[in-house]
């Protein structure tokens, strides 16, 4: 016969601290406390989207992060390039590629319909010669140059009713509700390139999903590809942008051409615009 030992009356009840398998809510609260106790870790985690501010305040009632992995990766790359502009060139990338790369992953279907879809003109700009400048003068000089560039560009974008959606390195992604305003703003932005660099810009118009901090849709891809065709000191606009802009006084549209753009099924009409 098997004799089972009786439980001792002196056995202590495990405390929450001794419990090897605490409840998920308790784990969340402890993790939030751990992160909050390290301001440096907390600030970086919040900035790149690894954790959500609401979760940090009420960890037992919210999900740790609402940002999809691709969004976290994008924020991390933006943060890295903001601190070290030379990081892009070191891996063979440029600002345009990084600004538009996540379009190909179709992030829109994961946002649960929270985007506002509307007709808009997307503009990309970057600075020809920035990679060489950074290599020659270093990150500190490059950051100072970019700060001056952004200081000059921001008022122009606002003046024409646009918004700087995001910037990475020397690249800017802009959005304008009016195609004509976008064209005029892009031409004026040519004057914002700090010597010896030259700015180039590309524009495309169409339906785009607009969020608080990004643009989503094929329009973004086309605008980036159009920009890649431009040389320093040039503004290129797609046929859709020119059609939406209509007659523009003081603006000359040069000969339009049908161009094959990478990742775009049909050829796209592209023309250079310049001030008369």
Res 108: pLDDT: 45
Domain ranges for the chain, please list them: 24-57, 103-275
Three-state secondary structure call for residue 269: strand
The span from the CA of 76 to the CA of 88, in Å, is 13
Task: Enter the tokens of residue 159.
Answer: 């003046």
Rounded mean pLDDT, 21-36: 80
| Strand ranges inside 44-196, DSSP E | 116-128, 163-168, 171-176
Res 124: pLDDT: 97
Q: Which pLDDT tens digit goes with each residue over 67-116?
A: 777 667 767 776 777 677 777 677 676 677 666 665 544 444 444 445 56
In the CATH hierarchy, which top-level class contains the domain 103-275?
alpha beta
Identify the DSSP state of 52: -
Please give the backbone phi and psi of residue 261, each rounded to the nearest 5 degrees, phi first.
-110, 135
Q: Which pLDDT tens digit goes with each residue over 201-248?
A: 999 999 988 776 778 888 999 999 999 999 999 999 999 999 999 999
8, pLDDT greater than 60: no
Q: How many CB atoms lie within 10 A of CB 167?
A: 22
Cis omega (within 30 of 0) for bond into 111: no
Cβ atoms of residues 124 and 201 within 8 Å: yes
Residue the block writes with tokens 């603006």: 251
What is the model's pTM? 0.69
Res 109: pLDDT: 42
Residue 202 falls in which region: left (phi positive, over 0), alpha (psi -120 to 50) or beta: beta
**Cα-Cα-Cα-Cα dihedral sign, residues 128, 133, 135, 140:** negative
Three-state secondary structure call for residue 63: coil
């Amino acid at each position: 016969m098997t004799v089972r030992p009786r439980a001792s009356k002196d056995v202590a009840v495990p405390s929450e601290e001794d419990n090897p398998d605490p409840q998920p809510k308790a784990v969340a609260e402890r993790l939030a406390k751990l992160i909050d106790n390290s301001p440096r870790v907390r600030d970086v985690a919040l900035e790149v989207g690894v954790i959500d501010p609401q979760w940090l305040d009420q960890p037992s009632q919210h999900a740790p992060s609402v940002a999809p992995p691709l969004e976290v990766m994008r924020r991390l790359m933006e943060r890295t390039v903001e601190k070290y502009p030379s990081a892009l060139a070191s891996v063979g990338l440029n600002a345009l590629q990084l600004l538009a790369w996540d379009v190909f992953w179709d992030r829109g279907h994961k946002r649960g319909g929270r985007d506002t879809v509307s007709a808009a003109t997307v503009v990309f700009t970057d600075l020809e010669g920035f990679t060489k400048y950074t290599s020659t003068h270093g990150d500190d000089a490059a950051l100072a140059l970019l700060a001056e560039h952004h200081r000059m560009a921001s008022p122009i974008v606002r003046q024409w009713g646009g918004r700087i959606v995001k910037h990475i390195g020397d690249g800017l992604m802009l959005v304008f509700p009016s195609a004509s305003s976008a064209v005029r703003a892009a031409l004026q932005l040519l004057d914002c390139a700090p010597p010896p660099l030259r700015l180039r810009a590309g524009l495309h118009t169409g339906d785009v999903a607009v969020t608080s901090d990004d643009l989503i849709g094929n329009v973004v891809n086309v605008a980036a590809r159009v920009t890649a065709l431009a040389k320093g000191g040039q503004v290129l606009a797609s046929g859709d942008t020119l059609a939406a802009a209509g007659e523009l006084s003081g603006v000359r549209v040069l000969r339009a051409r049908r161009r094959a753009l990478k990742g775009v099924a049909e050829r796209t009409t592209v023309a250079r615009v310049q001030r008369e």
